[in-house]
Chain A
Amino acid sequence: MNITETSNGAIAIVAIEGRLDALSAPELRNNRSVIDPEKTVVLNLEKLDFMNSTGLGAIVGALNQKLQPDFGIVLSCMNDDVRSVFEITNVQKLFHIFDDTAAAVEFATTRQGAHT
């Protein structure tokens, strides 16, 4: 799995590439922006090919650490396979999910601006 991080203002955009499973989940769990409770993160899943429940748990766990669980982690561009894992487990209810990363960043920026 590859993690690439960029930023847009105060928002961190973390792109995950490859497979998010028990082998790679620790890498996500240790990402500095992801574990920072105050940092709003857009997780770009466009190049995430495969995710199992351990990977899902890592994303949910990261959201749980955020001071703002409503928008602390915003998801973008997931493919149908990854979406099906969110859907089966009903975890999609915890997240705002976008099909476009720029729109996700705009949403996160607006929410953060309204909050501060």
Chain B
Amino acid sequence: MSSIITLTLPGEIMFARLASQTASSLADLVIGENREESAKRKFCHAFELAVSEAVTNSVTHAEEFDAPQMLTVTFEFEPRQLTVSVRDANPPFSIDKSAPDIESYPVHGFGLKIIREIMDQFTYRRDGDANIITMSKSL
């Protein structure tokens, strides 16, 4: 049995924080009492961080094109995994960029690397005029 929670947010930076804090609270709610405290904390942090990266990416991308719009964050709870999708109406973007070279002191470009590292599954697809990022992590 799965449950779905959907947040519809204005594409503004302050709401990226709201989405990530919601992600952390939801992860804490579903992870279960019988897990070790350190494992619980790690899971919640990973989920919070991944949502923070995806939503921040979406919001800053919208600002680049001067087109802040609503974005939708959907959390789906299944018995064995937690999935989150971020949907926005921005122009398409590439996910094939490699992580920046740290010797050049980069200030951008780490978001996708972080998501790929901490989540079990990550997909990006274009659905009509929308970008959809979907990320899952096993419980």
Contact = CB atoms under 8 A, between A and B. Distances in A.
Interface string A18-62: 010111000000000000000000000000001011101110110
A61 B52 CA distance: 20
A88 B118 contact: yes
Interface string A61-73: 1011000010000
B59 A22 contact: yes
A15 interface: no
Interface in B48-72: 48-49, 52-53, 56, 59-60
Contacts of B110: 53, 56-57, 88-89, 91
Contacts of B14: 23
B113 A89 contact: yes
A60 B105 CA distance: 6
Contact of A93 (B48, B53, B102, B113): B102
Given A19-B17, A57-B110, A88-B113, A64 B52 contact: no
Interface residues of B, number: 27
Given A53-B111, A58-B107, A81 B102 contact: no
A58 to B, nearest CB: 7
A91 B99 CA distance: 11
B133 interface: no
B113 to A, nearest CB: 6
A77 interface: no
B16 interface: yes
Q: Which 3 A-B pairs have the closest CB atoms?
A: A57-B107, A64-B105, A53-B110
Interface of B: 13-14, 16-17, 20, 41-42, 45, 48-49, 52-53, 56, 59-60, 99, 102, 105-108, 110-111, 113-114, 117-118
30 contacts: A21-B52, A22-B56, A22-B59, A22-B60, A23-B13, A23-B14, A23-B16, A50-B20, A50-B48, A52-B20, A52-B56, A52-B114, A53-B53, A53-B108, A53-B110, A54-B56, A58-B107, A60-B105, A60-B106, A61-B107, A64-B107, A80-B42, A81-B41, A84-B118, A88-B114, A89-B113, A90-B102, A91-B102, A91-B110, A94-B102
Interface of A: 19, 21-23, 50, 52-54, 56-58, 60-61, 63-64, 69, 80-81, 84-85, 88-91, 93-94
